[in-house]
Amino acid sequence: MGKIVGGFWMPHDPVMFVAPEAPPQAQRDKVWGAYQDCARRLAELEPTSVIVVGCDHYILFGTHCLPRYLIGTGDVDGPIDRLPGLNREVVINHEALANHIVAHGEAQGIDWSVARSFTVDHAFSIPHQLVVRPAEQLMGRRLPSIPVYLACGVDPFISFERAADLGRQIRAAVEAFDADERVAIIGSGGISHWVGTAETGRVNEDFDREVLDIGERGDLAALCAYRNEEILERGGNGAMEIRNFACAMAAVPNARGETIAYEAVPAWVTGLGFLQLHPEESVA
């Protein structure tokens, strides 16, 4: 029987790579250090595989096809977007588990869109290359990683309720997996940021800390209670990505959060929050 051993929320901010020296040194150190901390914490969970929940930014999917939710079940590489410091590389997938999640979902009324070959964008690659790959170094073995993409960047957006449904279904599928699998899940995104609007560069720390507080309390209902209009007003169009947080939180049994770091970084256009999701039984 498989198990979800923990999860994380973390950002995937491309501006960190485009303008690495834009914020004050102390902020840079704290944010890069948070990724290192997440890598260490991930390794301590002793996972055997990772699921990264990200979202497209109108790069991977065009007007011809806008999936609400998708899982990569086969060949994976990326990122498709070139960012200095991020390598385009092949990602080792866990095809058996990914296909099991799809088959299990079908029996539960969850019809996954499937990418048998998939080139991810930075939403997957930043957590993967800054956290999963360093955790592999610490553990001395590879961590096959499955990409899940939810429609957070381009409408029609996935509903919070559906994002949480997917998290619960992922957990049930892992628990029904016929292997001693230990899965960590990463919700990649946010928190507040305005992308391509006149407000780009604005950060709303009050909103960000409110979201992190919800994470610490493990209050999935409160997270799912956000309406789009409120998010757009208080967190910006980029904050729609907190749907990825809902999916990850729902996947972790009785999740309780621990904030690892938070920095409001206007120079990197984002409120950057890092949080670990502990299964209830592991909370002291």
Partner 1 sequence: MSRNVLERVLWQLSVERAAKERFREEPRKFLGRFALSPEEVDMVVDFDVAALQRLGVSPMLTMGFWQELSPSRDMRLYKERLGATDNEYAGFSAALKG
Of the two residues 32 and 58, which places its CB atom closer to partner 1 in the complex?
58
**In angstroms, what is the minimal distance from the CB of 21 to partner 1?**
8
What distance in Å separates the CA atoms of residue 236 and residue 242, rounded to the nearest whole number?
11
Amino acid symbol at 162: R
What distance in Å separates the CA atoms of residue 8 and residue 276, rounded to the nearest whole number?
4
Of the two residues 64 and 141, which places its CB atom closer to partner 1 in the complex?
64
Among 54, 153, 190, 215, binds partner 1 (CB under 8 A): 153
Of the two residues 157 and 274, which places its CB atom closer to partner 1 in the complex?
157
For the beta carbon of residue 36, count every other beta carbon within 10 angstroms.
Answer: 12
Per CB under 8 A, 216 contacts partner 1: no
Per CB under 8 A, 123 contacts partner 1: no
Per CB under 8 A, 85 contacts partner 1: no
What distance in Å separates the CA atoms of residue 16 and residue 29, rounded to the nearest whole number?
12
Residue 98, H or E segment: helix 95-107
Stretch that binds partner 1, among 29-37, 43-51, 132-140, 200-208 (CB under 8 A): 200-208
Per CB under 8 A, 22 contacts partner 1: yes
What would the two tokens of residue 19 be? 């303008």
What distance in Å separates the CA atoms of residue 22 and residue 273, rounded to the nearest whole number?
18
Q: Which residues bind partner 1 (CB under 8 A)?
A: 15, 18-19, 22, 57-59, 62-64, 153-154, 195-202, 237, 266-269
